[in-house]
Amino acid sequence: MKKNAYLKLLEYVKSNNIKEFRNIIFNMNEIDIAILINDLDLEIAVVFFRMLPKEISVNVFSHLDIEKQKIIIDAISNKEINNIIEKLYTDDAVDLIEELPANVVKRVLDNASNETRNIINEYLKYPENSAGSIMTSEYIGLKKDMTVKESFSYIRKYGENKETLYMCYVMDNTRNLLGVVSLQTLIMNDDKININDIMDTNIIQVNTEDSKETVINIFNKYKLLTLPVVDKENRLVGIITADDIVDVAEEEVTEDFEKMAAMLPSENSYLKTSIFELSKNRIPWLMVLMISSMLTGSILSKYEEAFSVLPLLVTFIPMLTDTGGNAGSQSSTMIIRGIALGEIKNSDWIKVLFKEFGVSIICGFALGVVNFLRLMLQYPGQKLLVLTVVLSLFVTVIIAKVIGGLLPIGAKLLKLDPAIMAAPLITTIVDALSLIIYFYIAMNLLQLS
Amino acid sequence: MKKNAYLKLLEYVKSNNIKEFRNIIFNMNEIDIAILINDLDLEIAVVFFRMLPKEISVNVFSHLDIEKQKIIIDAISNKEINNIIEKLYTDDAVDLIEELPANVVKRVLDNASNETRNIINEYLKYPENSAGSIMTSEYIGLKKDMTVKESFSYIRKYGENKETLYMCYVMDNTRNLLGVVSLQTLIMNDDKININDIMDTNIIQVNTEDSKETVINIFNKYKLLTLPVVDKENRLVGIITADDIVDVAEEEVTEDFEKMAAMLPSENSYLKTSIFELSKNRIPWLMVLMISSMLTGSILSKYEEAFSVLPLLVTFIPMLTDTGGNAGSQSSTMIIRGIALGEIKNSDWIKVLFKEFGVSIICGFALGVVNFLRLMLQYPGQKLLVLTVVLSLFVTVIIAKVIGGLLPIGAKLLKLDPAIMAAPLITTIVDALSLIIYFYIAMNLLQLS
């Protein structure tokens, strides 16, 4: 929105000019309104929120940061709380309840209807990383002997507060999921046709216990709008909608980026995370990697003699370890990403091995040639030294790429997180190996010992 | 699907048993069928495809790899080509045409209706990375003076081949976009109500020239199912659907991962990319970084004297450069991801500077303390050496984090790609700086010169 309109809005909030305020608000998207409130100071945010028209306030609320939600819940009346908790979709209500302090939770649930309270309590039981924890309960359920016409009447009657009408779920009397029928199918079929004859019985579904990652991969593979969630007895307990998956998927990718750059995943966006919190996420891995690179350093101390005889040897160390690290993290990154997208499976490890071996020979050769030419120009007399460096480089690239390719798959086999195996760890391993290779070759070729 | 059913399917293909083949196929999801065909050898893939029932063959076709699409187009009759090109959504048809060799393109377009050919030719004009290049033309357009009932009749009549019915677009006679109305809104309103009274005029839209990144960010921000694309005169020319965005968004993220691990982005998934192609993507950056780390090496050669006097100095180099590199890429990764998600803007650079400075002091201090304790145990007599290492580490972490935080924003200001500024480049820069700092401090504290 334009800065001008934004300033006017704030002015109307301060002067409590509801009429002019709502004139602007009515032409705004609810998500933009939420973004705006998220940027305000707490006090004015509450006033702003309470001036919103009832029709949109719950939708705006569901898009607010948890801090703003907390402060608003604290500030509003029991009646307003009732309005919010009844109209929020179950998934948003559960997210809110999970973040509130116990006494506030009690106040919120006391102001909810029995039905709402029961559903929320039921949903709170699902473990944090599961499909159950992100599903919602507002879906359309149909019976298989309904006609298209009856279905439309049903949808018109009960559709008001449903998160989506576009996919309807057909169940029997015990809530067993029998099929799905899209609103698109309903609309393209005759009034008299039976749901039984047009519903799709190849149902793509997940179990409440399935992980978020599984849910994301299924959404992406089948390009779904909604995904039904069933319990162990195949009874429908909720649905997950594509719009809720967007945030979950972005968080998963961000987590992978963070892990691959040796950080603990953060809960909030960068600008909203405190310096202390950021440091807490970064120090553990920095510490681990610092200590392991000390070990690498101690490898060097074994060869002190070699480089006190030939100090020139030291100047090639950064080139060797950096190139090895880069070559290795190229490989590990591609494999980790492939695993995350479900493209690379454990059984593909032989293919990966062959591919990385082939690629590393080509890369190692290309780098070796350039290095050779450059060193022959700079140190024309020292053929054995040049050979030592070029040979070490070649072997380092091969080892780096093969390890980089296999390490993430190995981690997955051991049920560890492949992303942790990325750049930082591979760098440390390759550093140590490249130094050992380098000095082994140097000692032998240059007869330094 | 189960391995058993899979083997049976192949058997039926080989024995040309269409009836049994289709019995299995009818219970399968179209995307699973496409995945199956993508894994087959070319010859049997064609036979498999031609045995599919007509109702689903075009949908399956749209999910095939381009190689399989090419070979199928080559193998089928003009009539079959006509069926495919007429029924494919425009975005899929355009993707296909762009990949086919010229003579095949001619054959395909010759077998398309005039209308289809004109639309395809129109769509082919949009630049590769633009919203225009991923939109499709199969949407429902309504007039504002239609009633809900008339809209339903219109949708029922013309909805058959539309990619989505869930969002309908209201235009005037010159195709100016006036508003949008969802099928959900239509269904929840009375037959007699006018579209004009229920359409949403706060339209979220993009221009044909907008970039894919913009499109993805808008989709994610507003959790859309579809997004209308307009030309410079605000005339509706196409829509982008959420299911098409899934792949585009995954590709964008994969590209970021590849760039951050110093690779040129690849077009295909890892297992489908040849060894030669993989090498071609990896060598350029490896080469650039190898050459720049040679420069780092040449910094070392300036201090040959120092470490021939005190060879122990060399053993701390890996710890310093690695920790600096890790600290820097932690920062750059978070900033690059924040920029990609639209959370960090250029104007935030001061906030980033303060945050990174604060974080780096805390991290540098924590690492320094551990390092100090460890070195005091190992080299109890050499206080000045210990001080040199710890001080160098502290300064390196600060510089690495500040540069890591600001470099991506600087790149964005210069209209360069922030992802390129990640781990590899930051590592090289920090390597060089940390060595200079280290030897500067060493020379002065230890008086080695």
Q: For chain A, give the percent of residues with pLDDT over 70.
A: 98
Distance from CA of A348 to the nearest CA of B (A): 9
**Contact between A165 and B183 using a beta-carbon 8 Å cutoff:** yes
Write down the residue that tokens 């109500």 correspond to: B193
Write down the residue that tokens 């280290």 correspond to: B438
Under CATH, what is the fold of the domain A140-241? Answer: CBS-domain (3.10.580)
**Contact between A334 and B263 using a beta-carbon 8 Å cutoff:** yes
pLDDT band for position B449 (cuts 50, 70, 90)? low
Q: Is the pLDDT of residue B56 over 60?
A: yes
Q: Where in chain B is the domain with CATH 1.10.357.20?
A: 270-445
**Contact between A317 and B317 using a beta-carbon 8 Å cutoff:** yes
**Contact between B262 and A330 using a beta-carbon 8 Å cutoff:** yes
Q: Is the pLDDT of residue B398 over 90?
A: yes
Chain A contact present for B193, CB below 8 A: no
Amino acid A99: pLDDT = 86
Chain B contact present for A187, CB below 8 A: yes
Structure tokens at B320: 């310093």
Amino acid B308: pLDDT = 78
Distance from CA of A262 to the nearest CA of B (A): 7
In the three-class reduction of DSSP (H, G, I as helix; E, B as strand; rest coil), residue B440 is classed as helix
Mean pLDDT, rounded, for A395-411: 94
Amino acid A449: pLDDT = 59
Single-letter residue type at B272: K
Amino acid B235: pLDDT = 93
Helices A242-260, A317-340: crossing angle, 10 deg rounding: 160
Positive or negative: CA dihedral A158, A161, A167, A169? negative
Q: Where in chain A is the domain with CATH 1.25.60.10?
A: 3-128
Q: Which B residues in the span 80-119 are in contact with A, Cβ-Cβ below 8 Å?
A: none
Chain B residues whose CB is inside 8 A of the A300 CB are: 314-315, 317-318
Amino acid A208: pLDDT = 94
- Residue A200, number of CB atoms within 10 A of its CB: 14
Parallel, antiparallel, or unpaired for β A226-230 and A236-241?
A: antiparallel
**Contact between A318 and B297 using a beta-carbon 8 Å cutoff:** yes
Q: Where in chain B is the domain with CATH 1.25.60.10?
A: 3-132
C-alpha A417/C-alpha A431 separation (Å) is 22
Q: Report the residue of chain B nearest A355, measured CA to CA.
A: B275
The residue among A28, A155, A257, A433 with the most chain B CBs within 10 A of its CB, best to mutate, is A257
Under CATH, what is the fold of the domain A270-445? Answer: Tetracycline Repressor; domain 2 (1.10.357)
> B119-155, pLDDT tens digit by residue?
998 888 999 889 999 999 889 999 999 999 999 999 9
Q: Which residues are within 8 A (CB) of B310 and not within 5 positions of it... i.e. 6 or more apart?
A: B385, B442, B446, B448
Parallel, antiparallel, or unpaired for β A206-207 and B140-142?
A: unpaired
C-alpha A324/C-alpha A396 separation (Å) is 6
Q: Report the residue of chain B nearest A356, measured CA to CA.
A: B275
Q: Which B residues in the span 374-433 are in contact with A, Cβ-Cβ below 8 Å?
A: 374, 423-424, 427-428, 431
Distance from CA of B266 to the nearest CA of A (A): 10
The residue among A333, A336, A386, A420 with the most chain B CBs within 10 A of its CB, best to mutate, is A333
C-alpha A183/C-alpha A49 separation (Å) is 34
Chain A residues whose CB is inside 8 A of the B343 CB are: 269-271
**Phi/psi of residue A116, nearest 5 degrees:** -60, -45
Q: A3-128, which class in CATH?
A: mainly alpha
> B220-241, pLDDT tens digit by residue?
889 888 999 999 999 999 999 9
Amino acid B2: pLDDT = 61
Chain A contact present for B149, CB below 8 A: no
**Phi/psi of residue A237, nearest 5 degrees:** -115, -15
Please report the ipTM that was assigned to this predicted complex.
0.81
A141, A171 in Cβ contact below 8 A? yes
**Contact between A286 and B330 using a beta-carbon 8 Å cutoff:** yes
Of the two residues A45 and B6, the one the predictor is more confident about is A45
Q: Which one of B219, B300, B363 has the shortest CB-CB distance to A282? A: B363
Chain B contact present for A325, CB below 8 A: yes
Q: Is the pLDDT of residue A421 over 80?
A: no
Output b/e per residue, A128-146; b: 16+ Cβ within 10 A: eebbbbbbbbbbbebebeb
The residue among A151, A180, A223 with the most chain B CBs within 10 A of its CB, best to mutate, is A223
**Contact between B275 and A246 using a beta-carbon 8 Å cutoff:** no
Degrees (nearest 5) of the Cα angle B14, B18, B20? Answer: 95
C-alpha B182/C-alpha B166 separation (Å) is 5
> A268-314, pLDDT tens digit by residue?
888 888 999 999 999 999 999 898 888 888 888 888 888 778 888 88
Q: Is the pLDDT of residue A215 over 90?
A: yes
Chain B contact present for A350, CB below 8 A: no
Q: Which one of A290, A308, A321 has the shortest CB-CB distance to B308? A: A308
**Contact between B318 and A351 using a beta-carbon 8 Å cutoff:** no
pLDDT band for position B434 (cuts 50, 70, 90)? very high
CB pairs under 8 A between A and B: 318
Q: B3-132, which class in CATH?
A: mainly alpha
The residue among B224, B257, B401, B436 with the most chain A CBs within 10 A of its CB, best to mutate, is B257
Q: Among residues B413, B422, B372, which one has the least CA distance to residue B392?
A: B372
Mean pLDDT, rounded, for A172-199: 92
Mean pLDDT, rounded, for B191-213: 93
Single-letter residue type at B282: R
Q: Where in chain A is the domain with CATH 3.10.580.10?
A: 140-241
Continuous segment of H or E residues that includes residue B361: helix B349-378
Chain B residues whose CB is inside 8 A of the A397 CB are: 286
Amino acid B163: pLDDT = 75
Q: Which one of A307, A362, A397 has the shortest CB-CB distance to B275? A: A362
